[in-house]
């Protein structure tokens, strides 16, 4: 249900579970963007709240029912984002450490294939990384074989234990505007440099778009 705080702001008081994006609490409801609820200017505040509560109760229920679809879209964005920036997600931030100190979302028997004689993975920011060679050749944007996100990683980026990386995502905040749901998530992996203040929108048709990252 919707509650009004001491500052007059409206919040959804129940938890909404959006799969890999996390569980969100205290969701800000923009009552100025509530025409979609059927509320009109001549209604009382209580009537407007009743309309908004009914609409967003159904909207959040629908989002939870489509959490798998929403989660898969976000995982696919993560894959294409990694391919676009070729972020060295395997690095631990200490060049003196060897392969035993890789993050726990790295599959060690796979990353060893890219190590030199000193058990260090070479990464030249000015040259394509061999780690990304196969997945970039596949082109996750096109995804011609219609693979799931987990299947793409398992087949073309096996150094990454994708679920362990995905599980580091934490829910930050959500707000609403009409039928759109705006979200923010983040993660502490890679020193917070890979997923930090990641913003996006879930549209009325439940399609997801990441609009800003870090």
pLDDT on residue 117: 85
DSSP summary character for residue 99: G
Q: Name the nearest CA neighbour of 76 among 160, 18, 162, 175.
A: 162
Mean pLDDT computed over 158-176: 96
- What three-state secondary structure class fits 9? coil
User: Chain-wide mean pLDDT for the chain?
Assistant: 90
Q: Where are the domains of the chain?
A: 2-211
Q: Name the nearest CA neighbour of 162 among 183, 143, 148.
A: 148
pLDDT on residue 19: 97
Give 26-37 pLDDT, tens digit per residue.
899 988 767 888
Give 98-144 pLDDT, tens digit per residue.
445 899 999 999 999 999 888 888 777 788 889 999 999 999 999 99
Give 41-88 pLDDT, tens digit per residue.
888 888 888 999 999 999 999 999 999 999 999 999 999 999 999 999
pLDDT on residue 93: 53
pLDDT on residue 98: 46
pLDDT on residue 17: 97
Mean pLDDT computed over 171-191: 93
Q: Which of 5-9, 15-19, 119-123, 192-196 has the highest mean pLDDT?
A: 15-19
Please give the C-alpha separations between residue 208 and each of 3, 177, 181, in angstroms, as whole numbers: 27, 15, 9
pLDDT on residue 100: 57
pLDDT on residue 126: 81
Two tokens, residue 15: 């938890």
pLDDT on residue 44: 85
**Residue pair 192/205 in contact by the 8 Å Cβ criterion:** no
Judged against a pLDDT cut of 50, whether residue 174 lies above it is answered with yes
Give residues with Cβ within 8 angstroms of 16, minimum separation 6: 23, 24, 27, 60, 63, 64, 174
pLDDT band of residue 97 (cuts 50, 70, 90) is very low
DSSP summary character for residue 90: T
């Amino acid at each position: 249900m919707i509650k009004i705080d001491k500052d007059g702001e409206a919040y959804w008081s129940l938890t909404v579970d959006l799969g890999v994006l996390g569980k969100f609490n205290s969701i800000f409801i923009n009552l100025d963007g509530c025409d979609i609820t059927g509320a009109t200017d001549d209604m009382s505040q209580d009537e407007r709240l009743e309309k908004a509560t009914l609409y967003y109760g159904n909207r959040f229920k629908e989002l939870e029912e489509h959490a798998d679809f929403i989660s898969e879209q976000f995982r696919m964005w993560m894959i294409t984002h990694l391919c676009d920036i070729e972020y060295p997600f395997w690095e631990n931030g200490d060049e003196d450490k060897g392969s035993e100190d890789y993050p726990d979302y790295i599959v060690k028997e796979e990353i060893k294939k890219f190590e030199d004689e000193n058990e260090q993975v070479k990464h030249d920011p000015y040259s394509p990384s061999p780690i990304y060679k196969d997945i970039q050749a596949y082109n996750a944007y096109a995804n011609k074989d219609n693979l799931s996100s987990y299947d793409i990683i398992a087949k073309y980026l096996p150094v990454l234990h994708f679920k362990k990386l995905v599980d580091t995502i934490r829910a930050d905040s959500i707000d609403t505007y009409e039928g759109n749901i705006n979200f923010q998530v983040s993660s502490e992996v890679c020193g917070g440099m890979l997923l930090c203040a990641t913003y996006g929108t879930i549209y009325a048709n439940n399609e997801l778009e990441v609009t800003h990252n870090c």
